[in-house]
Amino acid sequence: MRVFKVILAFLPVAYCGWLLFYFLNQGGLNDSAVADGLGPTVIGLGLVGLLFCIPLVFKLIRLVVTPRGPKSDASRPDLSEPSEESGFDADAALARYMARKQAAAEGLPSSAPAAAPAGEVPQRPSFGRKIG
């Protein structure tokens, strides 16, 4: 699959190169491209061809550098165990969330901060013009 992508990246480079070769050899070797007014066209084709070379070079480097074999399971981290590096345990966090949700459904106070009573509107800091 990667070789196919390299071939597809080579096609516009080859096309621009062919057009460049064609316009340079239009009337012989006596600098006819400039005499016929094709100088800007030849320079533009050269620049566009160089721009098309950038993805081709990156794809060739990727083809050569990266391994082609299937990835082994040893390179993938085991997500079932808590990570010792971060100290975060997803199962424990889920259990705490479910316990808080269960306590809120039963009407028991939880360790989370309580919401403001329904009748009172908490005073918020204002920005800009003060009203009243």
Amino acid at site 101: K
With beta carbons less than 8 A apart as the criterion, state whether 35 and 26 touch: no
pLDDT tens per residue across span 82-127: 556 677 888 889 999 999 998 888 876 555 555 556 667 667 666 7
pTM of the predicted model, to two decimals?
0.46
Which distant-in-sequence residues (6+ apart) come within 8 Å of 100 by Cβ? 110, 111, 112
Q: Any idea where the domains of the chain sit in the sequence?
A: 2-67
Q: Is 78 helix (H, G, I), strand (E, B) or coil?
A: coil
pLDDT tens per residue across span 17-38: 999 888 887 765 566 666 677 7
